[in-house]
């Protein structure tokens, strides 16, 4: 369903809100677009930051941010990881992140599957988050395995040295060419095996199979699906509802309808 007018948007938001209020289990899949209202870019690299230019070293950003480059020349990988971290450092959760955290508290079961490494879902208060690409604010020693929280890298030597053995620390994110974390994949598979009543795709182009598949699986099972994205994707023609809006605007519109519905029935939003 395309959001072609204000009335179309309101109608879609009203129907989605009703589905959300009735749902027992909801999956929200998020990409870089959900963090756009926090001031983070949505293009290329890990969480954005780069377009089509080569790096200063004359290589694609995918090569600079690869697991192979981290092993061979960690200073290059860390140079660009630090730039991404600096962009994330001053960003805070926006209305979309906060609403997902609110709905997790109010609805029976909510899971967030995110591609983002900015940590903004947890900062907003979401707890049941599958960070399929990791979190830029966690480090792990490549030698002794020591883990360390790193709220920011300001003033820190790069590559960061392990405080225990002095070897190179790595960010706990999935770099290009690396495998997805098995523990997070296991959590996702278990939740998908149980099933969901409603599946959202928010701010992602769904180019990765493991991001698109839960939506496709829901569609095949006749489960309502919602895509929220300012632009169209390969899933747009197939989802039950499509809102051509940014994440914060779309989720706020849905929450407004939930509030109106609860006022109309004289009840609080579902707990």
Q: CB-hemisphere CA count at 13 Å for 255?
A: 17
Beta bridge partners of 110: 26
Query: For residue 240, which of 207, 198, 184 has the smallest C-alpha distance?
Result: 198
Instruction: Say if residue 231 is exposed, middle or buried (CB neighbours under 10 Å; 0-12, 13-18, 19+).
Output: exposed
Q: How far is CA 169 from CA 5, 94, 245, in A?
A: 50, 30, 39
**Active-site entry in 121, 133, 137, 238:** 133
Residue with tokens 């930051």: 49
Instruction: Say if residue 144 is exposed, middle or buried (CB neighbours under 10 Å; 0-12, 13-18, 19+).
Output: exposed
**3-class secondary-structure state, position 140:** strand
143 in active site: no
Tokens of 155: 């003033």
The catalytic residue positions are 133
């Amino acid at each position: 369903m395309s959001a072609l007018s204000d009335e179309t948007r309101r109608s879609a938001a009203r129907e989605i809100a009703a589905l959300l209020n009735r749902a027992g289990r909801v999956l929200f899949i998020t990409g870089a677009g959900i963090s756009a209202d926090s001031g983070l870019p949505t293009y290329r690299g890990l969480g954005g930051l780069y377009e089509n230019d080569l790096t200063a070293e004359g290589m694609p950003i995918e090569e600079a941010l690869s697991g192979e480059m981290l092993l061979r020349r960690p200073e290059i990988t860390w140079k660009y990881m630090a730039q991404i971290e600096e962009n994330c450092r001053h960003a805070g959760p926006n209305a979309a992140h906060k609403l997902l955290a609110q709905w997790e508290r109010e609805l029976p079961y909510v899971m967030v599957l995110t591609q983002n490494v900015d940590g903004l879902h947890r900062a907003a208060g979401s707890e049941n988050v599958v960070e399929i690409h990791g979190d830029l604010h966690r480090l792990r020693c490549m030698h002794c395995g020591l883990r360390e929280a790193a709220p920011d890298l300001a003033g820190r030597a790069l590559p960061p040295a392990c405080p225990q053995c002095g070897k190179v620390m790595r960010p706990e994110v999935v770099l290009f060419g690396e495998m997805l974390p098995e523990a997070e994949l296991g959590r996702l598979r278990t939740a998908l095996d149980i099933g969901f009543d409603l599946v959202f795709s928010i701010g992602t182009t769904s180019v990765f199979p493991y991001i698109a598949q839960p939506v496709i699986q829901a569609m095949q099972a006749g489960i309502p699906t919602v895509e929220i994205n300012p632009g169209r994707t390969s899933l747009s023609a197939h989802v039950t509802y499509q809102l051509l809006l940014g994440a914060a605007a779309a989720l706020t519109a849905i929450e407004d309808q939930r509030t109106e519905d609860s006022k109309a029935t004289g009840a609080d939003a579902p707990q």
